[in-house]
Each structure stands twice: as structure tokens, then as C-alpha cells.
Amino acid sequence: GWKEFSECFRIFDKNGDGFLDRAEFGEILHLTGETVTEEDIDEMFGESDSNKDGKIDFDEFLKMMENVQ
């Protein structure tokens, strides 16, 4: 649920700025165990970054997680 996602987001937000940058986002994808290329990361990051500010906020993260399930 929401609480788990919040905890997950906090763990991956290494610098604590309230956003996931591309590197932090890439780490999440690598941890899924899937084979992920840099192109995959770019594509998924671009799709998840709906306001195109170059980082993923918690709302964007939640939307992404809903799409994954």
C-alpha cells in the first residue's frame, strides 16, 4: 500500500531531496532483477517524469508503481 511505497521512496531517495533522480531511479530498476539497459532506464524515467522536470517526485513514483502492479 501507500505506506510501503512511501518507505520505498524514502530509501531510494539517497540524498533526501524528496525526488528520485535518474541514477536513483536506475537503482530501483536494477533491483527488480530484470535485465535493464541504459535505454530502458531513460525510456521509463521519461515516461514516469510526467512534468518533465528531470526528476521523479512521490506522486509520479506512485503513478509508476500503480502501473507496474
Q: Tens of pLDDT along 8-43?
A: 999 999 999 999 999 999 998 888 888 999 999 999
DSSP 8-class letter at 34:
S
- Give the whole-angstrom CA distance, residue 2 versus residue 36: 26
CA distances (Å), origin 4, targets 9, 28, 47, 62, 65: 9, 14, 22, 11, 11
For the chain, the domain total comes to 1
Q: Is the pLDDT of residue 6 over 70?
A: yes
- CATH code of the domain covering residue 37: 1.10.238.10
Contacts of 55 by beta carbon, 8 Å cutoff, 6+ apart: 19, 20, 21, 49
- pLDDT for the residue numbered 32: 84
DSSP 8-class letter at 22:
H
Domain, as residue range, for 51: 2-68
Is the pTM higher than 0.75? The answer reads yes
